[in-house]
Amino acid sequence: MIEGGATLDLELLRTFEVVAQSGSLAAAAEIRHRTLSAISMQIKRLETELESRLFERGPRGVTLTPSGEILQREARELMRVHDTLVSRFNGERLSGRVRLGIPEDYARELLDDTLPQFMARYPGVLLDVTTDTSGRLARALKRQQVDLAIVLDGAEGLAHGETLWHPEPVWAAPSYGVLHLDPILPLAVHPMECPYRQLAIDALEAEQRPWRALFTSTSIHAVEKAIEAGMAIGVIDRERLTTAMRSLGEADDMPPLRQCEARLHFARAIDATSRSAVEALATLLRERLLGRGPWQTDSLSERHGNGRGGMKPGASRR
């Protein structure tokens, strides 16, 4: 029980946040570089101090209780304020400029938490963020226009990289109608240099299925709107399915899509004055995204026996 004048250990809160985001004690142990028993003991200690059950345990992992959801909101703000204050007074005075490239599909989730946390922790670093297709981000890396970028594999001319998570591309159709039965399949896609566009084309051409790009846009939101409005079918991440969409699979006579990876890449040359700041951001991206991506449920948890639990309403599994 926390009495007057008592304090919470921020390390417990950091562990709590990782468990909450990953949905798995084992995944949190891997991310935090601790043993599973150590993570379990930290969560138990935190629950004891707060006299509240923070997680519901089950065969598919852990989920937040109502008390856990309240703590997560408050803990994020507390850690943000703490990290900002500490960074202003201790020796962690990183400076320089960090140019980050991210696919637009994941910008909203990264802006919700990860990037604001970096800015709070390192107020002396100038952060520049660019969103674009993976192909264009790959070209920006080669031209030294960004220092690091998250890029989907398949981007032309960009090899290797550090795998962060495995996206789940699916065929997305409007929740009504049978567009997928059209003799010439109407597609809503990004322009060239988008790996998801290439996934769709490769899958269709492998089965000699006629198609046409009915709607092309650099905006993921515009592509999704075209799908929701019943104009076309597209390939998006399963997590982006809305109640106005449904996923299609082989049972709907749609060809299978190749799975892919989201990888972290660095520019060949990084300014010496910014190298430490670039690595600090890379470390935070690994901590937040490794094995699970920008969403709360994660593929890393699946490797430890958990399934995905965050599928949006209206989505169906292939």
Is residue 253 within 8 A of residue 76, CB to CB? The reply is no
**Residue-wise pLDDT tens digits, 132-165:** 988 889 999 989 899 999 998 865 656 678 889 9
Q: What is the 8-class DSSP label of residue 256?
A: P
For the chain, the residue count is 318
Global pTM value? 0.67
Per-residue confidence band for 87, with pLDDT thresholds at 50, 70 and 90 = low
Average pLDDT over all residues of the chain: 84
Is residue 42 within 8 A of residue 35, CB to CB? The reply is no
Q: What DSSP assignment string belongs to 20-82? A: HHHT-HHHHHHHHT--HHHHHHHHHHHHHHHTS--EEEETTEEEE-HHHHHHHHHHHHHHHHH
Per-residue confidence band for 46, with pLDDT thresholds at 50, 70 and 90 = very high
**Residue-wise pLDDT tens digits, 295-312:** 654 333 333 333 333 333
Instruction: List beta partners, residue 132.
Output: 103
Percent of the chain with pLDDT over 90: 44
